[in-house]
Amino acid sequence: MSGLGARVRIGARAVICPHVSVAEDTVIGDDVLLCAGVRVGRRVRLGDRVILQPGAAIGGDGFSFVTPEKSAVETVRESLGDRQDTRNTAWTRIHSLGGVE
């Protein structure tokens, strides 16, 4: 059983295996193979002849965070390993608004 979102376009000869989900507004090219368990996020554009292996996830929310100040990791790197400043680092979220092509 596969789940396809609204307005998904699927190219000629594309194969979608069981337990695949494709979110809304995604375009799948010709001769694409989406193996079992693949997850494709919204607004993704897959070209022709793409193969996504079992369990692959494309277009999900990534590690979209940044430190407003210099992080402890950057300080250690600059000081060649001196770990005197090991303060906790605050992370600020960056929203992932685009798609994957």
Taking the C-alpha atoms of residue 39 and residue 52, their distance in angstroms, rounded to an integer, is 9
Quick check: is 101 in a domain?
Answer: no
* Domain annotation covers residue 85: yes
Q: Which domain holds residue 86?
A: 62-96
Say if residue 64's pLDDT is above 90.
no
Same domain? 67 vs 49: no
27 in any annotated domain: yes
Model pLDDT, residue 93: 78
What does the pLDDT read at residue 60? 81
Alpha carbon distances (Å) from 3 to 27, 34, 64, 76 = 14, 12, 27, 46
pLDDT of residue 84: 61
Do the domain assignments include residue 30? Answer: yes
Same domain as 34, residue 69:
no
Q: How big is the chain by its Cα radius of gyration, in Å?
A: 20
Please report whether residue 70 resides in a domain.
yes
Domains held by the chain: number: 2
